[in-house]
Chains A and B, each alone.
Chain A
Amino acid sequence: MGKDSYYVGIGEMKVTHNPHQLIIMGLGSCIGLALYDRNAKVGGMAHIMLPESAGRCRCSTKRSCKFADRAVPILVDEMLRHNAAKSRMVAKLAGGASLFTTMDTLRIGEKNAEMVKEKLRQEGIKVVAEDTGGNYARTIKLDTCTGRLSVKTKDGVRVI
């Protein structure tokens, strides 16, 4: 069986299963949220842009994962549709950086990470690994065979 890579664009999400992998390239203050069910070997990823939708519901269904408060339940539902079980789901997140000092005051990355974790708590999903913050970009890759998330920066790669 061929191994495919799916790229998840800004505000999008995607769920797939072993042996495929999910990739988000060049994460800045956005959050890359990865959910994984080890038994079903099903993995999902959302590329989240801002913490709250705050009534801005103009987003198309294609980019329904722009906002953390909506993205988390949407991704969980999609995982369930792919035969993952909520009790086995674990979460890993990466991103939430602040590249430019001009935008430090907005603290978007930090707020994004907080909201994603709050929503995961509400869903009862445990965060098992996290690589957020800092002032550098990340490219992340979820291997649905192992549940490992590799985080590449311009200085190297680490696996969480």
Chain B
Amino acid sequence: MPKVEVVAIEELQRLIDQDKIVAGILVELEGDLSGYLQVLFPARSAFTLVDMLMGRTNGDTKSIETDMERSALMETGNILASSFCSAIADFFHTTLMPTPPSFAFDMMGAMVENAIIAVAQMQMTDQIILFRCDFKDEKELTIRGYILMFPSFDAVKRILSVLQGMVGDGEG
């Protein structure tokens, strides 16, 4: 089960390890819940994932350099982002379309900063929805991942109105 938190932008800057190297996938969200979605794997988890996906012995991958390695991580992130989007879209009875992903392997602080800026460009929001998840395979190898949703102001309004509607239905 993922841990879900709603955090303010300024808290997020303190919460994360800004210098830490992570593999990050960024998609833009289109539809009623616009904004950005980011999937992050800490370097060690990213290496383990590449080992699994490319049939290597656990511990073989020590850096992300080739296009194959980048694309393996990008696809995994993309699949996660897409299933996340369809789950959210179902729940809120709305549409949520992720754009094709882009990938970076670099400092976590810079990746998060990028999405904060992009959302600020559209419409100021100061809240971010952060999901922390651990994935385990049959050999109990743990992959740690973070899914960060940066909703636009319109998306936050939409989420709140749907939630209010649900509460209203309950009372009726």
Contacts and interface: CB of A to CB of B under 8 A. Distances in A.
A27 B110 contact: yes
Contacts of B149: none
B19 A139 contact: yes
A26 B108 contact: yes
Contacts of B118: 103, 106, 108
Interface in B1-59: 9-10, 13-14, 18-19, 21, 24, 26-28
Interface stretch (A71-79, A94-102, A121-129): A94-102
A102 B28 contact: yes
- Counting contact residues on chain A (CB < 8 A from B), the size range is 20 to 34
Interface stretch (B87-95, B96-104, B136-144, B158-166): B96-104
Interface string A1-36: 000000001100000000000000111111000000
A26 B114 contact: no
B152 to A, nearest CB: 15
Contact of A49 (B18, B103, B117): B117
A18 B104 CA distance: 37
Contacts, number: 93
Contacts of A50: 117, 120-121
A154 B124 contact: no
Contact of B107 (A26, A63, A100, A106): A26
Contact of A26 (B19, B26, B120, B124): B19
3 closest residue pairs by CB, A with B: A26-B109, A28-B110, A137-B110
